[in-house]
Amino acid sequence: MIALNQPLIVYTAIAFFLLVVLLGKFGFGPIVQMLDARERKIRESIEQAEHARLEAERLLRDYEEKLTEARAEAQQFIAEGKQLGENLRQEIVAKADEEAKRMVAKADEQIQRDVEQAIKELRAEVGNISVELASKVIEAELDKNAHDKLIEKYLSEVGRS
């Protein structure tokens, strides 16, 4: 079997206990501090990540609210634009109707003036013809044949002009 070497076991045990004491005094403290620091750092990172997630959610809500407001505002601008266009269309139609009525009224006035002028000219012409006819009637004899010839002469003169 294996022979036990007692001095080696004692030296090994003393070295082990000495190593445990030295590690407890000098090694475990810094290792524990390092693990604590790492744990703190990880915890802070998790808290920062959670804070960043909450901030991102808040920003997302704000963005969605602003987007909703922008859409509503855009719809309002579109509605206002349509209303303005409709108002302009109605105004243009009203002005065109007014202008057409003015033009018709002006044309009616011009036609009325032209008719009155034609009537005045016709009256003047009828007056001149009547005077000529009367002077010819007075100059001519008033027998039936002369009277018929005078009318035919007058009608032929009027037909030529």
Q: Residue 121 and residue 118: Cα distance in Å, rounded?
A: 5
Tokens matching residue 104: 């018709």
Domain span including residue 25: 6-160
In a domain, 18, yes or no: yes
Place of tokens 């309002």: 76
In a domain, 49, yes or no: yes
In a domain, 138, yes or no: yes
**Coil, helix or strand for 21?**
helix
Asked if pLDDT for residue 36 goes beyond 90, the answer is: yes
Give the best-scoring range by mean pLDDT among 32-36, 106-110, 147-151.
106-110
In a domain, 67, yes or no: yes
In a domain, 1, yes or no: no
In a domain, 129, yes or no: yes
Q: Are 136 and 150 in contact (CB under 8 A)?
A: yes
> Model pTM greater than 0.75?
no
Q: How far is CA 93 from CA 81, 97, 147, in A?
A: 18, 6, 66
Give the model's pLDDT for residue 66.
95
In a domain, 143, yes or no: yes
In a domain, 104, yes or no: yes
pLDDT single digits (tens) 40-69: 999 999 999 999 999 999 999 999 999 999
pLDDT single digits (tens) 4-29: 778 888 999 999 999 988 888 887 88
Please tell me the total count of domains within the chain: 1
Q: What is the residue type of 27?
A: G
